[in-house]
């Protein structure tokens, strides 16, 4: 069967640069998937996606001209009782169906009955079925048109455009108006249609620098080379990105002085989606702008102008920056001069905002937070700040006494004040960062200034934690206030919707408690935070405490599984809801070490059995044991062993040596096994039954202090 390489290109107006890579991958995957489902390609075919600002394309190797025939499902004809007579010969109804509906009058019925008709069970009855053999192959024209239509329909486009076709009546919907379609199977044009276009073998290159227009493509394999040669376009997203990175590195080296390009993959991807023929140029701005915090300058250059700032070897911002141009003129002075003129007003605005903001202290801005709405049910940012202050003072007192509590209170009071500054109003991404600069300008201590910036940390997975205890306290208080407040009014994350980033806040709380090993009780933290919402209408204290605690443990469990702990290990520890999260890693380590002991399976199974026995009791079992009521040798031996082993296990637990605590319990295996072999727990005598249940309750409590060992049993 003939196979050729296939090229499909959709030529459009400028696509959204931030989404270009995703659109290109989805387009290629959609076309290939559609052809694969229709048996035009094999899974091992090579698929290459192309995406430039004005095109989406895919190249697929070894595509069939006719789809591969495939087996069809057998067709049910009729019940055996209707189709066959007493001698097993075909009846008149069966012959009529075979000769008129399936084949033709002179068909060889004997061959057909022997090779294609068979008896099968269907719905408890015997029926005759017909093996239909292989379905005939379909043409690539039909298959590709359907596959392309599906790929276009399934592109990840959040918002589509509706535009009219040239006939003035019809309209289509797509991310941007489409103006050309190419479909080449080898060198042959596949005349498919999509978005009101008919495929051909011509496309368009660079708007200004293409050597010819239109660009004629000879075959599927020459696509990228022809576009680059005649159209001045690097069609491959990956190749264009690599070329930009190469030129950026070379330009930085040319500047000299050890400068480096600031790494930013998102910016690099976006710029790759903006240019077809990249040309990196070196520009500069006046050094006086370097008096402005470099975060402001970097943000305005990257976010507004898509420029690449340069950092000196010391980490300070250079007054030179790199521009990725989409044209390559002989004289680049006009391009460079134009970009320098464009960036100057942006930097001047940043300098103006910085100078104006420093005329007022952060303390003088606190009152302004009362006019900023935080949430219609939870009040203003000013009210929120007071709650964060109260929580921070309690945590600070627990961790560092009056001094830390006072510093945390001051930082919490000022942490949100930069929200009402001009700079943060223009660049919200700089909240916290500018607060630190303004705090230092006001003469505040470095600890408080750092805390103002750090109270947003960790802002994302892998982000660093606050750098000092003051920042840690305020960050905890800020995240707990958000979590408790939202849970208290029932504003919970659902599915993939989490507008207040509650999952991220919960993980931030977990990371700080775990990685800093803070001696704080989770339930107490949540209750103290919930107490600050007293008097707020619609706030439910119980829901905030219970549901939030469960939410945090769920996030903790997921995080631990991501770190490589097994589901059983995590479940055994987290199900106990340890209040000090800093202990969790040590508990998991202890569980893992315990599981390696030869006694572990038997003790875990016994623990599960004990739990099941105790669950059946309608009232809570009293762990008290009376030695006088111990009758059987096995229960006397178990009680004696517990008196010997449990003090050691408890001492190790209280000392935080969870591994030694669990390993001490291994000595109980033989006596536990003997107890279940020789003692009837639910004895008829009430006092004996209660005493034995108390014995098991004491054992169960001791065995589950570190983790629920029964969770280790499959």
Q: DSSP states of 325-375 as a string?
A: ES---S--HHHHHHHHHHHHHHHHHHHHHHHHHTTS-SGGGGGGGGGSEEE
How far apart CA 32 and CA 70 sit, in angstroms, is 18
Residue 104: pLDDT over 80: no
pLDDT computed for residue 159 by the predictor: 82
**Which tokens belong to 9?**
């290109």
**pLDDT per residue over 317-352, tens digit each?**
999 999 999 999 999 999 999 999 999 999 999 999
Which CATH number is associated with domain 583-712?
1.10.730
| Contact in structure between 546 and 523 (CB atoms under 8 Å) | no
Residue 102: pLDDT over 60: yes
**Which tokens belong to 387?**
């709650």
**pLDDT per residue over 125-166, tens digit each?**
888 888 766 556 688 898 899 899 989 988 998 788 888 887
CA distances to 390, 393, 471, 492, 514 from 450, rounded to whole Å, are: 20, 17, 7, 31, 21
How would residue 68 be classed by pLDDT, with cut points 50, 70 and 90? confident
pLDDT computed for residue 237 by the predictor: 97
Contacts of 613 (CB under 8 A, 6+ apart): 681, 682, 693, 696
**pLDDT per residue over 474-489, tens digit each?**
999 999 999 999 999 9
pLDDT computed for residue 99 by the predictor: 72
Q: What percent of the chain has pLDDT over 90?
A: 72
- Cα first-last separation, the chain: 53
CA distances to 19, 202, 324 from 56, rounded to whole Å, are: 12, 14, 21
Average pLDDT of span 241-258 = 94
pLDDT computed for residue 553 by the predictor: 96
Residue 434: pLDDT over 80: yes
Residue 105: pLDDT over 60: no
| Contact in structure between 485 and 378 (CB atoms under 8 Å) | yes
CA angle 433–435–439, rounded 5-degree value: 125
Q: Dihedral through CA 10, CA 11, CA 14, CA 20, nearest 10?
A: 30
pLDDT computed for residue 695 by the predictor: 92
> Per-residue b/e over 46-81, b at no fewer than 16 CB within 10 Å?
ebbbbbbbbbbbbbbbebbbebeeeeeebeebeeee
pLDDT computed for residue 470 by the predictor: 97
Note every long-range contact of 575-578, with CB atoms under 8 Å and residues 24 or more positions apart, other chains counting.
Answer: 575/708, 575/711, 576/704, 576/707, 576/708, 577/549, 577/553
How far apart CA 412 and CA 406 sit, in angstroms, is 10
Same fold, 363-564 and 583-712: no
CA angle 429–434–438, rounded 5-degree value: 165
Of the candidate ranges 97-111, 117-131, 320-334, 615-629, the one whose mean pLDDT is the lowest:
97-111
- Residue by residue, what is the 3-state secondary structure of 431-470? CCHHHHHHHHHCCCCHHHHHHHHHCCCCCCCCCCCCCCHH
DSSP symbol at 632: S
**pLDDT per residue over 350-405, tens digit each?**
999 999 999 999 999 999 999 999 999 999 999 999 999 999 999 999 999 999 99
Boundaries of every domain in the chain: 3-68+138-231, 75-130, 237-357, 363-564, 583-712
pLDDT computed for residue 289 by the predictor: 96
How far apart CA 119 and CA 122 sit, in angstroms, is 10
CA atoms within 13 A on the CB side of 434: 30
Count of C-beta atoms within a 10 Å radius of residue 312? 15
Note every long-range contact of 39-48, with CB atoms under 8 Å and residues 24 or more positions apart, other chains counting.
Answer: 39/64, 39/67, 39/68, 39/69, 39/70, 39/137, 40/64, 40/67, 40/68, 40/140, 40/143, 40/144, 40/147, 48/236
**Which tokens belong to 490?**
């029932």
Percent helix / strand / coil, the chain, rounded to 5: 55, 15, 30
DSSP H or E run through 324: strand 317-325
- Among positive and negative, which fits the CA dihedral 10, 11, 15, 18? positive
Residue 291: pLDDT over 60: yes
Mean pLDDT across the chain: 92
How far apart CA 395 and CA 451 sit, in angstroms, is 14
Q: Three-state DSSP class for 4?
A: strand
Average pLDDT of span 187-216 = 94
| Contact in structure between 566 and 581 (CB atoms under 8 Å) | no
pTM above 0.85, yes or no: no
How far apart CA 411 and CA 455 sit, in angstroms, is 9
Among the listed residues 607, 612, 611, 577, the one whose alpha carbon sits nearest the alpha carbon of residue 595: 607
pLDDT computed for residue 43 by the predictor: 82
CA Rg value for the chain? 37
pLDDT computed for residue 128 by the predictor: 86
Among the listed residues 55, 11, 7, 64, the one whose alpha carbon sits nearest the alpha carbon of residue 35: 64
pLDDT computed for residue 561 by the predictor: 94
Q: What percent of the chain has pLDDT over 70?
A: 97
Contacts of 680 (CB under 8 A, 6+ apart): none
CA distances to 154, 187, 232, 234 from 212, rounded to whole Å, are: 33, 20, 9, 15
CATH topology for the 363-564 domain: Hypothetical protein af1432 (1.10.3210)
pLDDT computed for residue 101 by the predictor: 63
| Contact in structure between 97 and 40 (CB atoms under 8 Å) | no
How would residue 107 be classed by pLDDT, with cut points 50, 70 and 90? low
Contacts of 660 (CB under 8 A, 6+ apart): 652
**pLDDT per residue over 16-51, tens digit each?**
999 999 999 999 999 999 999 888 998 889 999 999
Contacts of 200 (CB under 8 A, 6+ apart): 180, 181, 182, 189
Longest Cα pair distance anywhere in the chain, in angstroms? Answer: 108
């Amino acid at each position: 069967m003939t196979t050729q390489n296939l090229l499909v290109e959709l030529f459009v107006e400028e696509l959204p640069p931030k989404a270009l890579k995703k659109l290109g991958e989805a387009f290629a995957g959609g076309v290939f998937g559609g052809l694969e489902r229709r048996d035009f390609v094999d899974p091992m075919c090579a698929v290459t996606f192309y995406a430039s600002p004005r095109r989406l394309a895919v190249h697929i190797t070894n595509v069939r001209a006719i789809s591969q025939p495939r087996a069809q499902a057998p067709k049910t004809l009729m019940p055996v009782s209707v189709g066959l007579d007493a001698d097993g010969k075909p009846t008149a109804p069966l012959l009529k169906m075979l000769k008129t509906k399936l084949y033709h009058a002179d068909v060889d019925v004997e061959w057909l009955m022997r090779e294609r008709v068979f008896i099968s069970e269907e719905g408890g009855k015997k029926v005759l079925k017909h093996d239909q053999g292989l379905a005939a192959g379909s043409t690539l024209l039909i298959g590709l048109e359907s596959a392309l239509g599906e790929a276009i329909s399934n592109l990840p486009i959040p918002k589509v455009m509706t535009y009219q076709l040239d006939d003035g009546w019809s309209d289509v919907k797509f991310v941007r108006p489409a103006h050309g379609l190419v479909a080449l199977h080898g060198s042959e044009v596949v005349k498919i249609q999509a978005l009101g276009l008919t495929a051909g073998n011509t496309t368009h290159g660079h708007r200004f620098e293409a050597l010819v227009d239109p660009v004629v493509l000879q075959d599927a394999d020459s696509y990228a080379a022809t576009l680059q040669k005649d159209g001045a376009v690097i069609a491959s997203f990956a190749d264009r990105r690599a070329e930009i990175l190469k030129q950026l590195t070379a330009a930085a080296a040319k500047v000299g002085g050890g400068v480096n390009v600031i790494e930013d993959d998102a910016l690099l991807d976006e710029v790759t989606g903006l240019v077809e023929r990249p040309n990196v140029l070196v520009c500069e701005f006046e050094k006086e702008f370097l008096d402005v915090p470099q975060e402001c300058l970097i943000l305005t250059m990257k976010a507004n102008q898509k420029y690449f700032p340069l950092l000196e070897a010391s980490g300070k911002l250079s007054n030179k920056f790199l521009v990725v141009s989409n044209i390559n003129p002989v004289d680049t002075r006009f391009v460079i001069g134009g970009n320098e003129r464009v960036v100057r007003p942006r930097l001047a605005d940043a300098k103006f905002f910085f100078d104006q903001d420093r005329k007022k202290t952060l303390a003088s801005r606190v009152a302004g937070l009362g006019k900023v709405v935080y949430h219609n049910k939870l009040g203003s940012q000013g009210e929120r700040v007071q709650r964060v202050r109260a929580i921070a003072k309690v945590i600070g007192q627990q961790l560092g006494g009056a001094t830390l509590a006072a510093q945390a209170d001051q930082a919490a009071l000022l942490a949100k004040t930069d929200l009402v500054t001009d700079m943060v109003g223009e660049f919200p991404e700089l909240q916290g960062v500018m607060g630190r600069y303004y705090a230092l300008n006001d003469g505040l201590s470095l600890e408080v200034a750092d805390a103002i910036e750090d109270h947003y940390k960790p802002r994302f997975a892998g982000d660093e934690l606050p750098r000092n205890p003051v920042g840690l306290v305020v960050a905890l208080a800020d995240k707990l206030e958000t979590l408790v407040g939202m849970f208290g009014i029932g504003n919970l994350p659902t599915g993939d919707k989490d507008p207040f980033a509650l999952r991220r806040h919960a993980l931030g709380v977990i990371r700080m408690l775990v990685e800093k090993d803070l001696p704080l009780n989770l339930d107490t933290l949540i209750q103290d935070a919930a107490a600050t919402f007293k008097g707020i209408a619609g706030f439910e204290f119980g829901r905030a405490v219970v549901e939030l605690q469960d939410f945090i443990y769920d996030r903790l469990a997921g995080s631990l599984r991501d770190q490589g702990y097994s589901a059983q290990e995590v479940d055994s520890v987290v199900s106990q809801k340890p209040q000090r999260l800093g202990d969790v890693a040590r508990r998991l380590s202890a569980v893992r070490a315990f599981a390696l002991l030869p006694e572990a399976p038997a003790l875990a199974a016994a623990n599960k059995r004990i739990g099941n026995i105790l669950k059946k009791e309608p009232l809570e079992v009293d762990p008290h044991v009376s030695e006088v009521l111990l009758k059987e040798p096995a229960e006397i031996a178990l009680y004696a062993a517990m008196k010997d082993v449990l003090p050691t296990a408890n001492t190790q637990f209280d000392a935080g040596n969870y591994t030694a605590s669990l390993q001490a319990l291994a000595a109980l295996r033989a006596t536990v096994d003997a107890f279940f072999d020789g003692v009837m727990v639910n004895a008829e005598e009430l006092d004996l039954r209660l005493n034995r249940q108390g014995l098991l309750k004491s054992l169960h409590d001791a065995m589950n202090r570190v983790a629920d060992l029964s969770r280790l049993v499959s």
